[in-house]
Amino acid sequence: MIEGKLIVFSAPSGSGKTTIVRHLLKQKELNLDFSISATSRAPREEEIDGKDYHFLSLEEFKKRIKEDQFLEWEEVYRDNFYGTLKSEVERIWANGKHVVFDIDVVGGLDIKHIYPEKTLAVFVEPPSIEELKKRLKKRQTETEDRINMRIAKASIEMATAPQFDFIIVNNDLQTALDEAYNLVKDFIQK
């Protein structure tokens, strides 16, 4: 491979983008690796530091912003910072792989603007806000308040969909997985 590419999956949380990203990472022939974001939020029970996220204290996160270590970063929810470390992208490219991102819409569009040619930006749309609510409740990782916060944000995020290269509507998971696979396969062959 001459040069690695960037593949962004952005969506409101609960739309199924993480499932899609995990599926793609298992397809070895695509030669993808996951950009492990940094975050200041607390780990969920099943999450592993250095695998799901680099979990940093709020103070450490802010220090790294000052040191210009992030390609993009954002305060996604109050005091919950998330960001892509430049070192992550460099690590993956140095290993001869393409970088896959599971990040929010603002971060996703930032990456597309920084590397317009090299980035495939995909928006994963949930069938409806009602369905999203159901999925978030089923997940049972968040309090009612936090679920409502995510739903409120989802409506705003849905409006950014047309700015992405492609939209996948996640009505039927298998169809969404196939669509994502084909999009990525085409893009990395270009």
User: Which residues, 1 to 20, sit near ligand 5GP by CB under 6 A?
Assistant: 13
Is residue 9 within 8 A of residue 102, CB to CB? The reply is: yes
Should residue 83 be labelled a site residue for ligand 5GP when binding is judged by CB under 6 A?
yes
Nearer to ligand 5GP, 44 or 185 (CB): 44
Does position 84 interact with ligand 5GP (CB under 6 A)? The reply is yes
Distance in Å, CB of 189 to ligand 5GP, minimum: 26
* Subset of residues 45 to 74 that bind ligand 5GP, contact rule: CB under 6 A: 72, 74
104 binds ligand 5GP (CB under 6 A): yes
Q: Interface mask (CB under 6 A) for ligand 5GP, residues 157-186, using x and -?
A: ------------------------------
Task: Kindly indicate which of the ranges 59-67, 79-87, 127-135, 175-183 contains the residues binding ligand 5GP, using the contact rule CB under 6 A.
Answer: 79-87
Burial class of 29 by CB neighbour count within 10 A (0 to 12, 13 to 18, 19+): exposed
Distance in angstroms (rounded) separating the CA atoms of residues 8 and 16: 14
Pairing of strands 80-85, 38-39: antiparallel
Please give the distance of CA 172 from its chain centroid, rounded to a whole number.
20
Contact of 182 with 2, CB cutoff 8 Å: no
Decide if residue 102 touches ligand 5GP (CB under 6 A): yes
The site map against ligand 5GP for 26-45 (x = CB under 6 A) is: -----------x---x----
Among residues 56, 103, 124, 168, the one that binds ligand 5GP under rule CB under 6 A: 103
Task: Enumerate the β-bridge partners of residue 10.
Answer: 123
Shortest reach from residue 24's CB to ligand 5GP, in Å: 15
